[in-house]
Every structure is written in structure tokens, then in C-alpha cells.
Structure 1
Amino acid sequence: MNKIISFYFGRVLMLGRTNSGKSTLLNQLIGKKISITSHKINTTCFNISGIYNHKNYQIEYIDTPGLIENNNIIYNSLFSKNNFDAILLVLDQNKWNYIEEKIIKIINNIIIFIPIIIVINKIDKIYNKTILLSHINFIKKKIFFTDVVMISAKKKLYINDINHIIFKILPNKKHVFPKNYITNQSKKLIISEIIREYIIRYIHNELPYKLKIKIESFIENPKTLSKNINVLFYVKKLSQKKILIGKNANMIKFIINRSQNSIEKFFNKKVTLKIWIKLK
């Protein structure tokens, strides 16, 4: 007699201040880089979903933009749906100010009967770990949570503890995504985000993080199975165009080379990437 296997699926919302390490954590949880990371504030501009599969468990982790001034509209629209099964509140070490207070206020006002897991990130930067105990006691007075995990997303410390905690609270439900899925983002969005990361990382503050990147064409060669990708950057100023191109076109060549390597790694296919820069 065949044993009936139960399947479990749930959606987990990741919240926290900008640069708390949510994107790095998402990449580690999924086991592949799907969300760009940078020290620049508010690198993540929209929700990014990562799909984690393990045996009969499937989790959709949703990375959200970090909370900054006037960002309440984003969170209110998310919370109004209440279509998730748990919240990961990602905190940067023992940092706490008005940003965390804002997030806590929204959660306490809107979210009811949804498990909240506190994730204290970047513990590798804390020399005296005993201060974390007093910090956890402080958080207890602010919000009710079901569990707490202390991790280092960058150093890959205790990441799997989060998945195991989520397993215990997932509802008995059919899987939404195919087993080989790691993200529900489109191929074009993934490519544009990979390119945007390298621009942000190497050009620093000279360009805004909300870059207009358009994938003009995404064609697969049936003979070689390679992909030909043509991309357009739109900039507002001639000075920005010059920065992107760089002296003797060195900067744009560097960005193309790095981006192309990352895109090839993601899709496991040979890629030919071409980039044009235009004034908007």
C-alpha cells in the first residue's frame, strides 16, 4: 500500500531596515543569487520572491524594499492583503531606532495570528555576544514573536535554522511552483537586476540606484544554445553617460564582462551581452 505524502507550502515576508541584510539572507536561503546586494541604501526597489524546495516542503520567501522615509504605503499595501504565513523580521545586530519602531507599529496594528520570527543578522560583527540576550529581552517588550534566530547571512552562519523553523509552521498545502523553480521573477528582470548591481557596486554614488534598464532583445541561438542579450541604459545627463562609458570605454567593458559572467552562471548557458547607453 502506497503511503500518502503530505505537502506543505507557505509564503514568508521578509521585513527590515535597508541594509539589514535581507537580500543576502534571501540568496543564502535559496542557495542561489536572485536578489542583488549592495551597501548603497535601498538597493532593492521592489518585492523579489525566492522559492526554496526541500522534499515535500516549499517556501516562497519575499524580499521587500528596506523601510525608509515615506515608505509606509508599500508596507500598508502588503499587509492589507495578509496573504502570507509568517514574517521574518531581519534586524541588523543590536541596532534599533525609529525605523524599527515604524515596522513594529505597522505589524502590531495590522498583523494578527501570524507567526513572527526575529532574525538578528551580522552577529559575526559582535565581539561580546552576551549583549544579544539583553537585546532580545528588549524586543520582547516591543512585539510578540514565536522564535528568534541569530545568524550571519554573509558568513552563512545558522541559515538553515530559519528553514527548519518555517517547516514547523507551514500549512498543509499543495506546492504552487514547479520543483526546479528558484524565483518567480522573469528572465528579463533577473538580467536587468544583475547588470544594475554591478553599476551600483562600481560606479557608487554618481548614478541613482533606480536606473532605467531595458532588455531590448533576449534571443536563444538554437544551434549553440547560447543567448544573445541586447540592453539599453537610459540616463538623464550627458555626464552620467560619460561616467558609465568611462575612459577609453573601460567602465562599460568592465560592467559588460562582469554582468555577462554572472548571467552565464545563473542560466548555465553561454551569453553574449551588448549594452547601449542613451540619453532619456
Structure 2
Amino acid sequence: MSSDDLNLDDILAKGAQDADYNGDYQAGFAAVIGRPNVGKSTLMNELLGQKLSITSHKPQTTRHRIHGILTTDAYQIIYVDTPGMHLGGKKSINDYMNRTANSAFVDVDVILFVVEAGRWTDEDQAVARKLKGADAPVILLINKVDKFENKEALLPFIQKVSEQLTFDALIPVSAYKKIGLQAITDEVLKRLPKQAAIFPEDYVTDRSTRFLAAEIIREKLMRNLGNEVPYGATVEIEQFKFDEEEGRWLVNGLILVERPGQKQIVIGKKGELIKKIGSEARKDLIALLDARVHLELWVKIKENWSDDARALASLGYDDN
């Protein structure tokens, strides 16, 4: 995976050029969609066998579309992780996340609709309505089934969902307990076309390591802060380079918040919270980069960034 963002068309062209197609190989896109906080990112990470998308217990942790690429000798599945489709939220960033989620319906081979076992909300219903116009087959994934000791207790819920949506397959799963993962792969492969690999075999995502570094830092913000502040915060990487002399990566992360009070919360008493966030992020960055990392974090106020379309674009919140 390159450390620089590449044009997707260039990546696809390179993958097609490099692939050795034998006539039996399968490759295609599987979009992972659903409302916020149903476990889409955790599920994709488990399907890939590595952590790629950030996770937390807070809704709307995922803000961007991320391709996770699983390549074997027989197939290549490109899972498309998306922000949760949500109602409410009037800011520009909410519009961006919903547009990003909606874009996952286009040009994919199969849709994985993730819902939470035993819980059907207005947001689930809104997603189901959008799926009625989808061209791709829909596989319903009922996540968090490990919470039900008696699986027959799920039957009324399954019946209710069946009345709201026509789907091609149904799989009870648990991302947390790793239940149903092989069944997902099997069902996806039934619907992927026979064609050469789309991405080069050494790619695990279309995103840059610089982008992933920013997401790692934002994950630690989401996990360590209360319910309000994380939604007014984002992360921008100002420096991302390898120092040959010191043999380590130098990473400078800028945490942007919208109000002075949020800045104080992120910093914490005597700077303890931002040190904790930095320490946790550094561990994950070491694993990501497989090298020593020197991480420095700063906090800056950028008023109203989440409701300013130009600011969002400058921070990487675009539709590309």
C-alpha cells in the first residue's frame, strides 16, 4: 500500500494490468451498510482479518468510505465500509456522511445490510427504503446474535424485518464473537463475477497510511471523550515522514475542535488526557507502520468546521 493517496482509476487500471486472470478468479465489491452503531466497521475488520476501520461504541464513528481489500489465490473481495445512514443532524458533515453512505449503492456487486439483533429503528427503516431501489442483491446480516441465548427468540424480529425488505440471503452473525464470518464470505462469493483482481495483490486498502494515521488518532478521541466533544473534533496530519537518521516516523497530528471549552476537555487536567490519547495512538501507529514512532499532538480551535463545506473539503471530507 502506498503512503500517498492515489487516484482510484489509476489503481484499478494498475490492478487489471498486473492481474494474471485464469478464467476462474472472482473479484468484486461488497458494500457494508446500515444505520450508525450496528457494528459495520468491526465486522469488516473481522472479515479482513486485520484492523482497518476505526471503531468505538459511539454512533457515527465512521465518517469516510473506506475500501478494505481481501485478496486470496481464488478471489478478491473489496469490502466498502461506509458511515452509518442516519436521520437528524443538520450540519454539513451529516450531509457529507449520508452522501458517502448512499454512494455505496452504486457499482457494487452485493450489498451487506447490517442490522442489530432484536432492534429495528426508524433509521433501519430509512435504509431499507433506499435498498428497495438497489440493483445489487442484498444479504441481510443480523449482528450481535451472541446477546441471545435462545436463537428462536429472534424469529419474531426476523419476521418483522422480512416484512420491510426483500433480501437474497440472511445470516445471523456476531462480529464480536466472530460468528458467521465464513458464511458471509461464501454468500458474497456466490454473487461476485468471474474476472481478474481489481486491485494489486499487495493492497489492503485504497487509503493512504497518512489517512489511516489520522483515523487512529480520531479513534482514541472517540474512545476517551464524552458524548459531545468527539463530534466537534477532527484530526489533520501536518507532518508524516520517516527520519532515516533516527530510524523512526515523525508524526504531527493537529486536533481541531469548534469551541474553547472543547479544547480544554481534549487537553485535560495538566495535559493528562491528550497524553493518554497520544500514548494509545502511538501504540497503534507502531503496529501500522511496523517501526518506531514519534507522535506529537496539538489542539486548535477552528470554529464551525463541521458545518462549513469549504472547511470540510480542505480537511479531506469530500465525495471522492
Deviations along 1:88-140, whole A, 9 cap, x unmatched?
A: 010101211322221111111x213x221110000111122102233323333
- How many residues matched? 275
1:111 lines up with 2:134 in the alignment: yes
- CA displacement at 1:53 relative to structure 2: 1.5
Structure 2 regions of 5+ residues with no counterpart?
1-20, 89-93, 303-320
- SS of the residue 2:286 aligns to: helix
The reply on whether 1:8 has 2:26 as its aligned counterpart is yes
Among candidates 45, 65, 80, match of residue 62 of structure 1: 80
Structure 2 distance, partners of 1:240, 1:133, is 45
| Structure 1 runs (4+) greater than 6 angstroms displaced | none
Which residue is 1:200 aligned to? 222
The letter for the 1-side match of 2:243 is N
Aligned match of 2:99: 74
Tell me, what secondary structure is at the counterpart of 1:61? Answer: strand
Where in structure 1 are there 5+ consecutive unaligned residues?
A: none
CA RMSD of aligned residues (A): 2.1
Aligned to 1:36: 54
Alignment partners' CA distance in 2, 1:167 and 1:208: 37
Alignment of 1:7-156 (within 5 A): 7-69=25-87, 74=99, 77-78=102-103, 82-108=106-132, 110-112=133-135, 114-156=136-178
TM-fit CA distance, 1:228 = 0.8
Q: CA deviation at 1:145?
A: 1.5
Q: Give identity over the alignment, percent.
A: 34
Name the CA distance, whole Å, in 2 between partners of 1:115 and 1:26.
18
The offset of 1:34, in angstroms, is 1.1
Tell me what 1:174 maps to. Answer: 196
The answer to whether the Cα contact below 8 Å between 1:17 and 1:99 also exists between their aligned partners in 2 is yes
Check conservation: 1:45, 1:210, Cα contact below 8 A. Answer: no
Q: Following the alignment from structure 2 to structure 1, what is the Cα–Cα distance between the partners of residues 49 and 234?
A: 28
**TM-score calculated relative to the size of structure 1:** 0.91
Structure 2 counterpart SS, 1:209: helix
Give, in whole Å, the separation in 2 of the partners of 1:35 and 1:246: 26
TM (normalized to structure 2)? 0.80
8 Å CA contact 2:82–2:101 kept in 1: the answer is: no
2:267 and 2:128 mapped to 1: Cα distance? 44
Instruction: Between the two structures, name the one with larger relative contact order (CA 8 Å, sep ≥ 6).
Output: 2
Matched residue SS, 1:169: coil
Residue 244 (structure 1) shift: 1.5
Tell me the distance in 2 between the aligned counterparts of 1:92 and 1:210.
Answer: 27
Following TM superposition, by how much is the alpha carbon of 1:5 offset from its aligned partner in structure 2, in angstroms? Answer: 5.2
| 1:141 to 1:205, Cα distance in 2 relative to 1, 3 A | closer
Q: Return the alpha-carbon distance in structure 1 between the equivalents of residues 157 and 299 of structure 2.
A: 48
